[in-house]
């Protein structure tokens, strides 16, 4: 099954750069990690809506919250238990949170 790991933070935090290096996690995930990347800050987002045939854009995220999505990874694993195990080893799990969400057609 494919899962999206949404890498989230509740705001600025202090961490040793070595602890935040994703490469050991990427190596551990191996071929189960299909893709992933960091995202720019929520302030750089553009929200798009179509209402009455008109495209409306808003600078910034859809909703103002403390939590911000700062990256993502897509993994392909046997089941939710394996997805949780992989997510728990991500360096951001210790400083923020990882939302594990299955694809509609995994």
In the chain, where are the structural domains located?
A: 2-102
The three-class DSSP label of residue 65 is coil
Distance CA 89, CA 85 (A): 7
The three-class DSSP label of residue 70 is strand
Q: Mind listing the pLDDT tens digit for each residue in 4-26?
A: 999 998 877 777 888 889 999 99
Q: Taking the CA of residue 73 as centre, how many other CA atoms within 13 Å lie in the half-sphere pointing to its CB?
A: 27
Q: Mind listing the pLDDT tens digit for each residue in 43-83?
A: 888 889 999 999 999 887 666 667 788 899 999 999 999 99
Q: Mind listing the pLDDT tens digit for each residue in 91-101?
A: 999 889 999 99
- Give CA angle at 79 (23, 85), nearest 5°: 40
Distance CA 9, CA 24 (A): 20
The CATH class of the 2-102 domain is: alpha beta
């Amino acid at each position: 099954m494919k899962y999206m790991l949404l890498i989230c933070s509740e705001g600025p935090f202090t961490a040793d750069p070595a602890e935040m290096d994703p490469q050991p996690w990427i190596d551990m995930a191996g071929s189960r990690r299909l893709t992933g990347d960091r995202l720019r800050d929520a302030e750089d987002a553009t929200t798009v809506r179509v209402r009455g045939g008109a495209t409306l854009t808003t600078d910034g995220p859809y909703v103002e919250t403390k939590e911000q999505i700062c990256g993502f990874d897509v993994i392909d694993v046997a089941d939710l238990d394996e997805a949780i195990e992989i997510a728990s080893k991500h360096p951001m799990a210790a400083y923020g949170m990882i939302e594990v969400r299955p694809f509609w057609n995994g």
